[in-house]
Amino acid sequence: MGYFVGADTGGTFTDLVIISEAGDVRFEKAFSTPHDPSRGVINALGNGASLLEIGVSDLTAQTLRFTHGTTVGTNALIQRKGAKVALLTTEGFEDTTLITRGPMGMNLGIPAVQALDYANAKRPVPIVPAGLIRGVAERIAASGEVITPLDESAVGEMLRELLAQEPESIAVSLLWSFRQGAHEETVKRIIGELSPSMHVSISSEVAPVLGEFERTMTTIVNAYVGPVIDRYISNLRSSLIEMGMRSSLQILKSSGGVTLPERVEREAVGIINSGPIGGLVAARYLGGILGYKNIITSDVGGTSFDVGLIRDGEFEYEQTPALDQGVPARTPAVKVVTVGAGGGSIAWTDGRRLHVGPQSAGSDPGPACYGVGKDPTVTDALVVLGIIDPANFFGGRKQLDMHRATDAIRVAVAEPLGLTVEEAAAGIYEIVTARMGDLVRKVTVESGYDPRDFALLAYGGAGPAHAALYSASLGVKELVVPFTSSVFSAFGCALSDVRFSFVRSEPIVLGSIESADRYDAVFEELEAQALAEFAASGQNANGLTIVRRVDARYKGQLNEMSILVSNSQLVDAGIDSIRTLFEEQYESRFGAGTTSSGVPLEVITFRVDVIQETLKPELKEFPLAGEDAANCLTGTRKLYLKATGAIMASIYDGDRLAPGNRIDGPAVIERRDTTILIPPGHTAVVDGYRNVRIKEAAK
């Protein structure tokens, strides 16, 4: 029997999903090991093998694909534990990454309300300090024309002085290098001559796109985390080979595709923040099975609430995600919007209003019911309200203290506001749930869509405890809690495709026949490069799909919109074909009547994705048993909700529920790592893939 294996490292647990060739899905967890995350991965493999009742070497030997989602890059960036990077840039512009486009360096990537906190605002510490930045004598103009030729001997001299400071990695980003890469390539060559083992990232390779601040930051981050990720992946790969794994290790990227160990150093920046993307890959796949092309995903963790979108079976992309405060990256990432509203969000009051967050107890000290912290959190409210059973949390792996939860809410919130503990807990739950609904709505509407056209997928341990309430108010078609809810990102890892992304900015105003010729030529060059690199990676180049996108705008606009375009020649299809695509998407986003017929279109950036669909198992569909779930009923419990007050709810053992079973709210379905609330007036049905599908009963 062959296995498809996905492993995803998270803050607390390393999740593992094993799908057999027959389509049977099993999953396990192991504790994460922050000092050497590969230990956690190997432990999870061990646990997985035990689950299958085979030896770990049998599992590794029979693994057909092993795909890994890692936070090594994210952590190196956030904790500023990357390589010592030096930056070479165009003379006269050495300060670009220190100036950071003014307030952007401070306010990008933090909530607006935090940007308004003038008294305490602080810029993050630059990744490359001023002392490790050097100007290169050269200058290229917007057209690609060389204004000042590169002074090679000056570069050599400057490098010798710089190398004395012992950088571990060098980033090179020159003005307009994406129009004319020769200067950067020469600089790279000179570095190689002087220091053959040096890690080098050049902007015309890492992010050949318009805008020197973002391009340079992307190159720096790549240089910063590249050596760290490379080291980690090399070690993990050796361990897996030692354990008998023969299939190639694949690494998930934030673009939703996977890359290979040989390429991680060069694509390092694209591996950062890939964690939540696995969930979207899984959601897309599951949507395909369930017949949903429009899906909203929502994931509740200890400190954050993440929302993503799948529209027409495609991911939404964000072209310049903020990887950290003040750190934009020009690397295409599947869009996931995060707010700080999770199980650890702290409730507080000033005696008049009830607030939830933005402070979080995280996992250390954690919610009051964990036994250490004193502040009441959302998780404490769930315990008090009866939604979470303190004796059966994380499959009984963690005992929760109901008294601590009650006390924390009483002292910090209920008494100051003159509420009962239940009323206060219901308030906390209501506020945080409404806020989740507001974010889901914002994300959908921002992209020009209506939530009523979508199904909502809720996963993560706590997500399904909130989702039914806000999904009802959004009017989504259906709420789905996947079978693999608690390991959904790892599930996605096992289902992801190989994806190489290539990009280049070359501003072209579409109009003349020459502009169409140039457009076709740029795509041809990019595709040739993409196919050559694919072949060089040693992958079988059969069955490739090539996807073209352009980032276009009305001439004069500042922001581009990314549109999917056809692979045929523009000279043949005609420029109007692009215009039609652009304006359709524009109107769906900004409303009818917002297009400008008189203004020419300008293409700024060209994108080519080469996708190789990986071998995937077909998930096993189980036959439906009857509706009656009585044999899984484990008892009843008092629930307290704001709308209903105290009610009695049926409690079900979710791990024993059979396909076809039907449960009417009020009820709580308890799975080993997931709590699902079925509110009054809602009905849950277990489908053939063991997903729980929840609908509001017709009124």
Partner 1 sequence: MSSLVLDPITFEVIKHRLWQINDEQGIAIRSISTSTIVVEGNDFNVGLFAANGDLAVAGPYVTSHVTTMDALIKNVIETAGDDVEDGDIFLCNDPYMGALHQNDVAVVSPIFVDGQILLWAGNVVHHADLAGIDEGSFCVNATSVFQEAPRYFLKVVRAGVLCRDVERTFITNSRTPEMVAMDLRAQIGAINVAVKRVRELSDTYGAGVVRDVMTQTIAYSGELLRERIGELPDGTWSTEVFMDGDRVGSDEILTVKLTLTKSGETLHFDYAGSSPQSAGAVNATDYSTYAGTTTPVYAFLCGSEIDWNSSIRKSVTVDAPSGSVVNANYPAAVSICSIGFTWLTAVAATRVIAAMLSESEKYRNRACASWGVACCGNNVFSQGSDGELIGGLLSDHRGAGAGARANQDGIDHAGTVFSPLSYMSNVESQELKFPFLYLFRKRLVDSGGPGRFRGGMTILAAMTPFGTESVTWKSQNTAGSDQSNAAGLEGGYPGAGSQVSVVRNTDVWQTLSQHPTGTDIGAFGGEVIHLETKSEGVLRRGDVFVFHPPGGGGFGDPLDRDPEDVAADVRDGVISLEAAVHNYAVGLSTDGSVDYVETAEQRNARRQISATQPDTSEALRSTSGTPTPTKCPRCGRATEIGKPTRWTSPLSAAGPWLAERWQGNSPNFKLLHTSCTACGSEWDVCEVAAPDDTSPLPAFSKGA
Chain residues 134-153 in contact with partner 1, contact rule CB under 8 A? 135, 137-139, 141-142, 147-149, 151
**Shortest distance, position 419 Cβ to partner 1, whole Å:** 8
- Note whether 156 binds partner 1 by CB under 8 A: no
Binding residues for partner 1 restricted to 209-238, rule: CB under 8 A: 210-214
DSSP letter for 560, please.
Answer: -
| List 79, 153, 197, 559, residue binding partner 1 (CB under 8 A) | 559
| List 349, 529, 585, 634, residue binding partner 1 (CB under 8 A) | 349
Q: Which is nearer to partner 1, 325 or 557 (CB)?
A: 557
Binding residues for partner 1 restricted to 625-684, rule: CB under 8 A: 642
Q: How far apart are CA 659 and CA 305, in angstroms?
A: 29
Positive or negative, the Cα torsion across 671, 675, 679, 681? negative
Q: Which is nearer to partner 1, 93 or 500 (CB)?
A: 93
Mind giving me the DSSP string for 249-293? EEEE-TTSSEE-GGGTTTTGGGGTT-TTHHHHHHHHHHHHHHT-S
Alpha helices in 477-599 (DSSP H): 488-494, 513-536, 570-573, 575-590
Total residues at the site for partner 1 (CB under 8 A)?
A: 85
**Shortest distance, position 584 Cβ to partner 1, whole Å:** 15
Cis peptide before 680 (omega within 30 of 0): no
The one segment of 197-205, 596-604, 653-661, 690-698 that binds partner 1 by CB under 8 A: 596-604
Q: Which is nearer to partner 1, 390 or 427 (CB)?
A: 427
**Shortest distance, position 581 Cβ to partner 1, whole Å:** 17
Q: Which is nearer to partner 1, 435 or 499 (CB)?
A: 435
Helix/strand/coil (H/E/C) assignment for every residue in 308-374 = EEEECCEECEECCCEEECCEECCCCEECEEEECCCCCEEEEECCCCEEEEEEECCCCCCCHHHCCCC
How many other CB atoms are there within 10 angstroms of residue 544's CB atom? 16
Q: Is 54 exposed, middle or buried (0-12, 13-18, 19+ CB in 10 A)?
A: middle
The one segment of 1-9, 119-127, 229-237, 372-380 that binds partner 1 by CB under 8 A: 119-127
The residue written with tokens 């030896």 in the block is 55
| List 123, 189, 397, 662, residue binding partner 1 (CB under 8 A) | 123
Binding residues for partner 1 restricted to 44-103, rule: CB under 8 A: 90-96, 98-103
Binding residues for partner 1 restricted to 376-415, rule: CB under 8 A: none
The residue written with tokens 């933005």 in the block is 358
Q: Which is nearer to partner 1, 156 or 261 (CB)?
A: 156
Return left, alpha or beta for 43; rule: phi > 0 is left, psi -120 to 50 is alpha, else beta. Answer: alpha
Binding residues for partner 1 restricted to 561-590, rule: CB under 8 A: 589-590
- Please state the φ and ψ torsions of residue 566, each to the nearest 5 degrees: -80, 165
| List 36, 80, 81, 129, residue binding partner 1 (CB under 8 A) | 129
- Note whether 311 binds partner 1 by CB under 8 A: no
**Shortest distance, position 601 Cβ to partner 1, whole Å:** 13
> Which stretch of DSSP H or E encloses residue 419?
none
Q: How far apart are CA 235 and CA 112, in angstroms?
A: 41
| List 118, 153, 615, 626, residue binding partner 1 (CB under 8 A) | 118
**Shortest distance, position 301 Cβ to partner 1, whole Å:** 20
Binding residues for partner 1 restricted to 419-478, rule: CB under 8 A: 426-427, 430-431, 434-435, 438, 441-442, 445-446, 473
Residue type, 585: Q
